[in-house]
């Protein structure tokens, strides 16, 4: 029983513990090339949240990790079989209910640990912040916590070298041999502003990639995944710790 994982604890413990911050891991259930499982983003969210919370807890942060939400925004992958889209408006409704529970229980801080590029909680946080002014709501994308260039040869946008290495480290039994993986080659927008990154449009996934991957997975190893996971979770733990200890009325210096 890990004291920082809600689903592993009982009412007696929970009733008697004062928690400073809740962590909500948020994944997606979607195709990840031919070699990674649909649950890749959920596995990553669960493991990063748990390891970040473990380190933070040992440094005195009262963190409680909620069960991961398994469905992400997959509007661009509408034609990929069994990609389980949850619309942004539904996510807002789910998030509002979670925030309402925490608010009622006087846990005034929530961290959303996001694992999926299609999820974007910032506008939701703005709206819920108005409705629940006592709450400190924050989100992070763990995959942006450290520079992937320091760990991997090929850039990973989806199911590439980073994600494959991480799952080879965390759940190797769920990874098919890399010889079965597609090359993750992906087309880019013809429109210059979008290619440069300052303009944006959603990608129609199956027009961009043949194997659903965006990023070459073939140089992935468990060792790379382990080193990267350690670096990411150390940073995530520090973020959990800082949020736990932050004074909600004195956040700026």
Which listed range, 34-42, 77-85, 103-111, 228-236, lies at the site for Zn ion (CB under 5 A)?
34-42
Considering the complex, state which of residue 142 and residue 240 has its C-beta at the smaller distance from Zn ion: 142
Q: Does 161 bind Zn ion (CB under 5 A)?
A: no
Alpha helices in the chain (DSSP H): 11-16, 40-58, 88-104, 122-131, 161-170, 192-196, 205-208, 222-245
Q: Give helix 222-245 / helix 40-58 axis angle, nearest 10°.
A: 50
CB 160 → Zn ion: shortest distance, Å? 9
The verdict on 83 binding Zn ion (CB under 5 A) reads no
- Of 32-40, 68-76, 77-85, 197-205, the window that binds Zn ion (rule: CB under 5 A) is 32-40
Token reading at 6: 């809600």
> Considering only residues 27, 38, 41, 229, which one is a binding residue for Zn ion as defined by CB under 5 A?
41
Supply 51's token pair.
Answer: 């390891």
> Residue number with the shortest CB distance to Zn ion?
41
Burial 142-169 (b: 16+ CB within 10 A, else e): bbebbebeebbebebbbbbbbbbbbbbb
3-state DSSP assignment of residue 22: strand
Nearest residue (CB) to Zn ion, 66 versus 77: 77
Rounded distance between C-alpha atoms, residue 167 and residue 224, angstroms: 11
Residue closer to Zn ion (CB basis): 41 or 83: 41
Residue 40 binds Zn ion (CB under 5 A): yes
Q: Per CB under 5 A, which region of 37-45, 100-108, 140-148, 194-202 contacts Zn ion?
A: 37-45
Which C-beta is closer to Zn ion: that of 214 or that of 241?
214
Structure tokens at 15: 């009733």
Interaction of residue 212 with Zn ion, rule CB under 5 A: no
Binding site for Zn ion (CB under 5 A): 40-41
């Amino acid at each position: 029983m890990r004291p920082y994982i809600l689903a592993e604890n009982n009412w007696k413990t929970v009733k008697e513990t004062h928690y400073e911050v809740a962590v909500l891991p948020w994944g997606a259930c979607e195709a990840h090339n031919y070699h990674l499982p649909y649950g890749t983003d959920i596995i990553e969210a669960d493991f990063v949240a748990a390891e970040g919370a473990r380190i933070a807890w040992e440094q005195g942060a009262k963190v409680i990790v909620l069960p991961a939400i398994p469905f992400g925004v997959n509007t661009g992958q509408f034609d990929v079989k069994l990609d389980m889209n949850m619309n942004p408006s539904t996510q807002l409704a789910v998030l509002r209910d979670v925030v309402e529970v925490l608010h009622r229980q006087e846990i005034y801080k929530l961290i959303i640990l996001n694992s999926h590029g299609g999820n974007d909680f910032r506008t939701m946080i703005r709206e819920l912040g108005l409705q629940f002014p006592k709450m400190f709501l924050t989100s992070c994308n763990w995959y942006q916590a450290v520079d992937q260039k320091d760990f991997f040869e090929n850039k990973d946008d989806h199911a590439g070298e980073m994600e494959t290495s991480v799952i080879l480290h965390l759940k190797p039994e769920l990874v098919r041999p890399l010889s079965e993986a597609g090359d993750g080659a992906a087309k880019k927008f013809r429109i210059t502003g979008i290619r440069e990154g300052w303009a944006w449009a959603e990608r129609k996934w199956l027009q961009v990639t043949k194997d659903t991957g965006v990023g070459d997975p073939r140089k992935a190893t468990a060792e790379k995944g382990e080193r990267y996971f350690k670096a990411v979770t150390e940073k995530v733990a520090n973020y959990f710790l800082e949020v736990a200890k932050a004074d909600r009325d004195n956040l700026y210096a």
